[in-house]
Structure 1
Amino acid sequence: MNQNSKTSEDTIDLKELFFSLIAQWKVIALCIILSLICALLYLRVTPKIYSVDAMVQVEDSKGTSAALLGDLSKLTNSGIGGKSPADPEIEILRSRLVLGQVIQNLNLDISILDNSNSIFSKLTSKDDTILKYSHNSVFYSNPNGNLVIKQLQVPQEYLDKPLVLVFKEQNKFELVNDKKEIVVTGSLNRFNQLQTADGLWKIEIYAKGDLAKQNFTLSKLALTTAVNNFNNNYAVAEKGKMTGVVGLNFNGTDKQLITQILNNVLNVYHEQNIERKSLESKQTLAFLDKQLPELKKQLEDSEIKFNQFREKYKTVDVNAESELLLKQNIDLEKLKIELEQQQAELSAKYTNDHPMIRQIDAQIAEINKKLADLNNRLTQLPETQRLYLQLYRDVKVNTELYTTLLNSYQQLKIAKAGEIGNVRIIDTAVEPVKPIKPRKLIILALSLFVGGFVGVLIALLRNILRSGIKDSSQIENELDLPVYATVPRSPVQENRVQILKKKKSIPILAVKHSDDIAIESLRSIRTTIHFALNNAKNNIIAIAGPAPEVGKSFISTNLAVIFAQSNKRVLLIDADLRRGYLHKYFDQELQPGLSEYLNGQNSLEQTIHTTSVANLDLMTRGKSPVNPAELLSSSKFQEMLETLSALYDYILIDTPPILAVTDGIIVSQYTGVNLIVARYAKTDIKELELTLNRFEQSGTKVNGFILNDIQRGSNSYGYGYNYAYAYKANKDE
């Protein structure tokens, strides 16, 4: 092997690769069609997926109650610390607190599956089933009837487990588990409360229509399972960065249901947000509802005692010191009440161990200490004056405390009535018009791409797995013999092998389509063979091949017709006494033929048949003998060839496969030119080496090769067109 052959093996011819793919267009087209069929089936059985969205705004506001309470709310609210106000709300929107309520409101924890609704039925019929969820029931409808489940409560053991609903006679039903065991039996169209060993069952199922032949699979989902299933189709995310605007999205097959579900999520979340924001006001109002009656009674009692004292002792003037002590005492009492009110508000949010609660407790204790000190100082005043101050202080303190708490009470009631929370619903869910999945155009385009890719991949694998000869230069480099012609694959003869097996008559390409590309290629070697015969011992040409189905008979027949069309007398002999079929090309009888002549049954004139092609005669193989090799090696066969060689300009012999039997080697002993036919991408170079060894062992010479059935795009394609002219030019020189 020389350097050029190595280089040829290590490089990839893109042109050859491209045309080899074109040659296998049927495989690629089949893969594309199958891929399209799969895509269409997928689009047929896949339900349409719709999507709805909504939008809420989370306001970083302290609310109406905080504004009305003033500085008291500052202690209970801290800064966000740079975080978006939407972050905690997103987690709340995904929590079981919100989603669990939605699932309970719409009975989304009840699953119904129609066991008769198979993939085949989806392919053959239109899906006309209806599944609706509401607060009162789950409704399922098909052409056979309706099924309504108003209540389905199962024991803890049967949560998330499928139960087959089987209808029985007399409006009875059974629930069967996966082990084919009946777990409970009840009556249709009524409420059933059943106590079994597993626990309490509460079932209320209504059925209408002809559902007796159908069964359904029911499942009661646990809360965590239902929430997980909900989150599979549910998405919550903040729109932008630090915007406080949250987008909600929900996907499903029923556009009315998903709209209902998402709007229910908004309602539940908004109600819980308002309730959570008004909890502070509720706690404060509860405290004031308890304190106001007591303060009112204390005020009335203090006024009665003060009036009685004044009537008894008349009016007593209070000096500046007494007034100062009185003012300090009143201020401390007011501050103490405010701290107690603040303590009640914070207790709704924090435990007693919280730093803010503990701080307020310490402040109240300090005020109590100061009040005790003031009371001690007041006791040192004269008795009458002391009693006056004490009664006056009680009236004054109770009046101001009662008035202050009464004002706060009215303000909190107003705030509670106007509480809207810190969430504003911007967009509610609107029923969609077009589905988002499946995307038909994308799926069809992707199926075309996948089908084409798989088809090309299969074609490339087939091309790689073909170990046969793909380049005429490979034969010349490996075997050091010329390739007389490269015969392209004829578009007319695409299924030539199948024609040979099925038809009794085979059309001759050189006669029916004389301008065919394969015939033009064979014409190019006519001159080459003529010069090869100048140095040969006779005018007999043997067409051989290493194995069956390489195209020997096709080459022999059409080459003989081409010679005959150039006004040369030509004889075509079918020397394949076992399986020859040259007679089919000329619509001749099988016998008498070569075997009958060699056996002495018929004369030479009787075995040579004229054909419809001028100047061309045919000797068929005759009836298959039991000893073909012995007949061909006999002297009678040699004498026959010598006789016929003088009568014809060219004698072409179609021989059996060289590697299969020895008949071809025997025939080659009497011929002047021996040509070996190899088939593109089928004949291996090793087969040609073995064939050459057979010829060398018998002492005969192979003149050259004919590479047959070249596919378009091959390096060998068109190589043989000019080979004859190049050969002639070399001979002339």
Structure 2
Amino acid sequence: MNQNSKANDDTIDLKELFFSLIAQWKVIALCIILSLICALLYLRVTPNTYSTDAMVQVEESKGAGAAALLGDLSSVVEQKSPAQAEIEILKSRMVLGTVIQDLNLNLKIQDDEDGKLHRLLTKDDMLLDYRKDGVFYQKNQSNFLIKQFNIPAFYQNKELTLDLTTPNQFKLIDIENEQVVFTGKLNQANQNIDRYGTWSVYIESKAPFKQTFTLVKQSLPAAVDSLNTDYSVAEKGKLTGVIGLAYQGQDKQHITEVLNSILQVYHAQNIERKTLESKQTLKFLDKQLPELKKQLEESEIKFNKFREQFNTIDVTQESELMLKQNVELEKTRIELKQKQAELSAKYTSSHPLMAEINAQLATIDKKANELNQALKRLPETQRLYLQLYRDVKVNSELYTSLLNNYQQLKIAEAGEIGNVRIIDTAAEPIEPIKPRKLIILILSIFVGGFVGILIALLRNLMHTGIKDSTQIENELDLPVYATVPRSPIQESRIQILKKKKSIPILAVKNTDDIAIESLRSIRTTIHFSLANAKNNIIAISGPAPEVGKSFISANLATIFAQSNKRVLLIDADIRRGYLHKYFNRETTPGLTELLSNQSSVEQTVFKTEVANLDFIARGKNQSNPSEMLASAQFKQLLEQLSAQYDHIILDTPPVLAVTDGIIISQYAGVNLVVARYAKTQIKELELTVNRFEQAGAKVNGIILNDINRASGGYSYGYNYAYNYTAHKDD
């Protein structure tokens, strides 16, 4: 192999590759159609998925102490978004679990008849509605409502078959064990206790089904995980405090209701969390106010009785000062007690704030004891007066103060709005988010086209035969007499040719065809070869079947006859030859009858419709074709006929398949070998030439058939189909 051939092997002809893809447009179109059909089937069996969204704003509450400490540095120090904690709360079981329990989302229902094949063939009017009073399922005219479905924990997250085939009765079957675990009646509450726990099932149905369903009662963690697969929460932007919520599903109304329920539960718990401090304080005041009021009433009664008994007593300035101090201390102590109750809702007893309150109370108690000791040193009557007056004064002021605080906390609790604000509630969507039909259809076209092109390239890659006439000349040092392109005329006749027993001769029907023009160009070359040949016999051979020998033989003989030459065409392939179809006649009498002396030359030679062209069919199949062709009688026959005609063309069997072609080549003056573009291997041609040389014959030239070169403007698929139809038995 020389350098030129190596260069040709390493070169990719993009133009040829492009036209080879165009030639296989039917394969590409078929792949696109199949891909579109698959896409349409997918869209048919896949239900629409909708998505709805909502938006929540989280208001950041900065402490005054932190703001004072940071000052201008607060914009520099990295801070966490207040939305991060709220996002986790929105995903928590506290919020989602409440929604799941309220809407019965932990009960999954699957129709056993609703498979992909069923959805493909029929379009049922199905409704699955999760409501607060139960789960409602309706298909066509039948329906049922599961109002209650409490089952033992052992059967949670397990598939149970709901059998409604029995009238006015239902059964629950464990799919794993195929055992009936519960039986009940429709339209009434059913309870049962087994070794796993208590069953409580209530199924209402006015139009019962006659089929089975698959039910799954999910545990709370499993139900939350299942809801989270279609539920997403994320902050919009960075440190914006705005949270976006989204929920998707097949039922527009259902997903809207679920997302709005999540918003309601989350907002309610946020307000409840913010009013927790006020509730703790109100709880303390609810307990203290009645006791304080009772103490006030008792102290007033005692003080009035004392005054009635001893009349009015003047209080000295020192005693009055001690009384005021005692009242202030008692009032401060009560306020610290109230503050201690408020802080206990937030902190433990070991917290510094709690420790500070306890220290202040201890100081107040110490000062109060000192004043009590001072009061004890006063005169008895004066001391009793001051004590009773102090009790009335302290209880009165404390009761008034606590009552004011109680009213303020009540107002604050009623007006508490929390630190989150619902900006957008969930709105029912209109268009589904998936499947995106237009995109899927467009992608299916591209995928089908890609697969079709890939198949076409693989087919083209598998056709590793000869694709250039120079390859033959460089490798075998043999001339290429002609490169015969595919005929664009034949494509419209392909299906007709496959059904009919006769094949039209292209040189007769379409004399201007590009394939015929190419064959005309080799007449001069063959004339020069015959000038130095031992006779006027032309043998046309090929390395293997389906290379187009018969097509070349029939049309070449016609071309010679049209140039006023007397031509005899012989079908020498007595095994599987079918040249008789070109002339619409039977195989007999033919060559085998002539060689076996069953018919004469006059009886065997057939005058065709083409002027100057005679034809001898192959005859009846024989068991010893090689021996007949190697006989002296065949040689004598050719010598006899050679004198009567200007040209004799022999259509021979494949050389590598049988030895008949090599035997015939010894009688021919010119031996032409037909190779097929992109199918015949260079190694096959090399072996064919070696066979000729071993038999002492010479190959004069090669005819490269079925060319699809773009430079000639040929279409890839035309003559291939014709040649396959016309030469499939070669």
What TM-score, normalized to structure 2? 0.91
Distance 2:711 2:467 in 1: 7
Confirm or deny that 1:545 pairs with 2:550. Answer: no
1:702 to 690, 695, 699: 699
Match of 1:50 in 2: 50
Match of 2:621 in 1: 624
Cα distance, 1:585 vs. partner?
0.3
2:229 to 208, 227, 232: 232
SS at match of 1:542: strand
Distance 1:550 1:576 in 2: 14
Match of 1:443 in 2: 440
Match of 2:649 in 1: 652
1:135 to 113, 132, 135: 132
Q: Deviations over 1:209-255 (max 9, x none)?
A: 3522x111122111111111111111112222222222211111111
* Deviation larger for 180-189 or 340-349: 340-349
Cα distance, 1:91 vs. partner?
1.2
Match of 2:197 in 1: 199
Q: Deviations over 1:190-211 (max 9, x none)?
A: 1101112222110111223352
Query: Does the 8 Å contact 2:488/2:714 carry over to 1?
Result: no
Change (3 A) 1:204 1:714: farther
* Deviation larger for 530-539 or 223-232: 530-539
**Which segments of 5 or more consecutive residues in structure 1 lack a partner in the other structure?**
719-733
Match of 2:314 in 1: 316
> Structure 1: which amino acid aligns with 2:316?
V
> Structure 2: which amino acid aligns with 1:49?
T
2:293 to 283, 296, 299: 296
2:670 to 641, 653, 673: 673
Query: Does the 8 Å contact 2:486/2:714 carry over to 1?
Result: no
Instruction: Map 1:450-469 to 2 at 5 A.
Output: 450-469=447-466
Query: Does the 8 Å contact 1:510/1:519 carry over to 2?
Result: yes
Change (3 A) 1:474 1:208: farther
Instruction: Map 1:284-683 to 2 at 5 A.
Output: 284-307=281-304, 312=310, 314-319=312-317, 325-380=322-377, 386-493=383-490, 502-683=499-680
> Structure 1: which amino acid aligns with 2:674?
V
Distance 1:565 1:363 in 2: 132
Confirm or deny that 1:3 pairs with 2:3. Answer: yes
Match of 1:209 in 2: 207
Cα distance, 1:189 vs. partner?
1.1
Change (3 A) 1:170 1:695: closer
SS at match of 2:574: coil
Match of 1:25 in 2: 25
Identity %: 68
> Structure 2: which amino acid aligns with 1:539?
N
Match of 1:726 in 2: none
Q: Deviations over 1:496-541 (max 9, x none)?
A: 9987775321111111122222222222222222222222222221
Q: Deviations over 1:6-59 (max 9, x none)?
A: 122122221122122122222211111111111000100111111111222222
Change (3 A) 1:527 1:362: farther
> Structure 2: which amino acid aligns with 1:318?
T
> Structure 1: which amino acid aligns with 2:347?
Y
Distance 1:183 1:508 in 2: 81
* Deviation larger for 177-186 or 339-348: 339-348
Change (3 A) 1:170 1:37: closer
Query: Does the 8 Å contact 2:144/2:208 carry over to 1?
Result: no
Change (3 A) 1:687 1:276: same
Cα distance, 1:667 vs. partner?
1.1
> Structure 2: which amino acid aligns with 1:341?
Q
SS at match of 1:112: strand
> Structure 1: which amino acid aligns with 2:34?
L
Match of 2:721 in 1: none
Change (3 A) 1:333 1:518: farther
Query: Does the 8 Å contact 1:499/1:506 carry over to 2?
Result: no
Q: Deviations over 1:460-510 (max 9, x none)?
A: 122222232222222222212122222222234459998777532111111
> Structure 2: which amino acid aligns with 1:683?
T
> Structure 1: which amino acid aligns with 2:226?
N
Confirm or deny that 1:96 pairs with 2:93. Answer: yes
Match of 1:730 in 2: none
Q: Deviations over 1:359-387 (max 9, x none)?
A: 32233223323333443445455656555
SS at match of 1:247: strand
Distance 2:120 2:295 in 1: 84
Q: Deviations over 1:138-194 (max 9, x none)?
A: 111112411111111111111011111112545222111112211111111111011
Distance 1:598 1:490 in 2: 37
Query: Does the 8 Å contact 2:100/2:223 carry over to 1?
Result: yes
Distance 2:209 2:709 in 1: 64
Change (3 A) 1:378 1:517: farther
Distance 1:140 1:585 in 2: 72
SS at match of 1:585: helix
> Structure 1: which amino acid aligns with 2:13?
D
Distance 1:573 1:553 in 2: 11
Query: Does the 8 Å contact 1:306/1:388 carry over to 2?
Result: yes
**Which segments of 5 or more consecutive residues in structure 2 lack a partner in the other structure?**
69-73, 716-730
Distance 1:144 1:310 in 2: 89
Match of 1:721 in 2: none
Query: Does the 8 Å contact 2:313/2:382 carry over to 1?
Result: no
Query: Does the 8 Å contact 1:669/1:700 carry over to 2?
Result: yes
SS at match of 2:643: helix
SS at match of 2:246: strand
> Structure 1: which amino acid aligns with 2:29?
A
Query: Does the 8 Å contact 2:146/2:203 carry over to 1?
Result: yes
Distance 1:244 1:210 in 2: 51
Distance 1:509 1:137 in 2: 80
Cα distance, 1:448 vs. partner?
0.8
* Deviation larger for 340-349 or 439-448: 340-349
Q: Deviations over 1:552-582 (max 9, x none)?
A: 0011111111111222221111111111111
Distance 1:29 1:170 in 2: 55
Change (3 A) 1:411 1:501: closer
Query: Does the 8 Å contact 1:336/1:367 carry over to 2?
Result: yes
SS at match of 2:586: coil
Distance 1:483 1:365 in 2: 121
Distance 1:45 1:493 in 2: 44
Distance 1:38 1:6 in 2: 44
* Deviation larger for 526-535 or 222-231: 526-535
Match of 2:158 in 1: 161
Change (3 A) 1:429 1:114: same
Cα distance, 1:313 vs. partner?
7.0
Change (3 A) 1:524 1:358: farther
Question: Aligned-residue CA RMSD in angstroms?
Answer: 2.6
Q: Deviations over 1:314-338 (max 9, x none)?
A: 433433x655555544443333222
Query: Does the 8 Å contact 2:124/2:140 carry over to 1?
Result: no
Distance 1:334 1:693 in 2: 127
What TM-score, normalized to structure 1? 0.91
Q: Deviations over 1:112-158 (max 9, x none)?
A: 11112222221122231111111112111112411111111111111
- Work out the number of aligned pairs and report it: 704
